[in-house]
């Protein structure tokens, strides 16, 4: 039973489209995160939510909008996709208080 | 500005020998450090962590050492096994940093049979 699951695993789409990535965790953790791994392989935080409240919002274009309908879900919606958005997006869940975060398997987004 | 650096992009060791992966950081506010292992097409998997109040933490074949004065940590794997072949990421966070993890670029470890 996967602890953090993301869908879809692969997403290929055209520039200018709007797309969403879904994330669900069954760990019961209060905090969820979105990270982006770019072509240089750096994993960087984008957002975090704690109990449906936005906690971290790094310097991310406002075309990216996270939505947390409940504690177990954190979705990522991206408007007007650009070539530079091509990356692997990872969702994670954690308890905070200096405890490990647990990651999903990633969504590879490719913009044509 | 890289706050967490893994200067070796790759490391190759023989099965049964020790693997030592290194990580340096620049932000003195970091007080919690983690190592993650990542296989292709999978997410990072938590391996081991250490708080800044300790200088060593051990879990089976994995030991993490922290040298705060040098702002350096290392992961030792003894003995190394072929299944350990993966990319290893060092990460750090700070109290009051909302548990934001700052990652290094990763070191690809290859353990040869």
B-chain residues within 8 Å CB-CB of A49?
none
Whether B43 and chain A come into contact, CB under 8 Å, resolves to yes
* Torsion over CA: B90, B96, B98, B99 (sign): positive
For A41, nearest residue in chain B (alpha carbons):
B105
Structure tokens at A19: 């797309």
The partner residue sitting opposite A45, judged by closest CB among B46, B95, B100, is B100
Distance from CA of A100 to the nearest CA of B (A): 7
Q: What is the CA radius of gyration of chain B?
A: 13
Whether B35 and chain A come into contact, CB under 8 Å, resolves to no
What was the pLDDT predicted at B76? 98
Task: Classify each residue of B19-58 as buried b or exposed e, where b means 16 or more C-beta atoms within 10 Å of its C-beta.
Answer: bbbbbbbeeeebbbbbbbbbeeeebbebbbbbebeeeebe
Neighbours of B77 (CB within 10 A): 23
**Over A3-58, what HEC string results?**
CEEEECCEEEECCCCCEEEEEEECCCCCEEEEEEECCCCCEEEEEEEECCEEEEEC
Percent of chain A beyond pLDDT 90? 71
pLDDT, greater one: A99 or B70? B70
The partner residue sitting opposite A41, judged by closest CB among B41, B43, B106, is B106
Q: Compute the C-alpha angle A6/A58/B2, nearest 5°.
A: 100
Q: Which stretch of A9-23, A51-65, B32-46 has the lowest confidence by average pLDDT?
A: A51-65
Taking only the tens of pLDDT, chain B with its 113 residues reads: 789 999 999 999 999 999 999 999 999 999 999 999 999 999 999 999 999 999 999 999 999 999 999 999 999 999 999 999 999 999 999 876 567 899 999 999 999 99
Pairing of strands A19-25, B4-5: unpaired
What was the pLDDT predicted at B97? 59
């Amino acid at each position: 039973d996967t602890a953090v699951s993301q869908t879809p695993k692969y997403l290929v789409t055209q520039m200018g489209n709007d797309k969403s990535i879904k994330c669900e965790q069954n760990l019961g953790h209060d905090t969820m995160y979105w990270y982006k791994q770019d072509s240089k392989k750096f994993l960087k935080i984008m957002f975090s939510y704690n109990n449906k409240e936005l906690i971290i919002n790094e310097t991310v274009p406002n075309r990216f909008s996270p939505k947390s309908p409940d504690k177990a879900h954190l979705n990522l919606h991206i408007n007007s996709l650009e070539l530079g958005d091509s990356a692997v997006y990872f969702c994670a869940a954690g308890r905070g208080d200096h405890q490990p975060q647990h990651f999903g398997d990633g969504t590879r987004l490719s913009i044509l | 500005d890289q706050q967490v650096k893994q200067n070796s992009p790759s490391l190759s060791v023989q099965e049964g020998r020790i693997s030592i992966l290194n990580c340096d950081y620049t932000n003195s506010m970091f007080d919690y450090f983690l190592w993650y292992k990542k296989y292709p097409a999978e997410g990072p998997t938590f391996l081991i962590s250490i708080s800044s109040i300790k200088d060593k933490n051990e879990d089976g074949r994995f030991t993490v050492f922290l040298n705060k004065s040098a702002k350096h940590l290392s992961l030792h794997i003894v003995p190394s096994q072929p299944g350990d072949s993966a990319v290893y990421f060092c990460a750090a966070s700070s109290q009051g940093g909302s548990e934001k993890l700052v990652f290094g670029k990763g070191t690809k470890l290859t353990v040869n049979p």
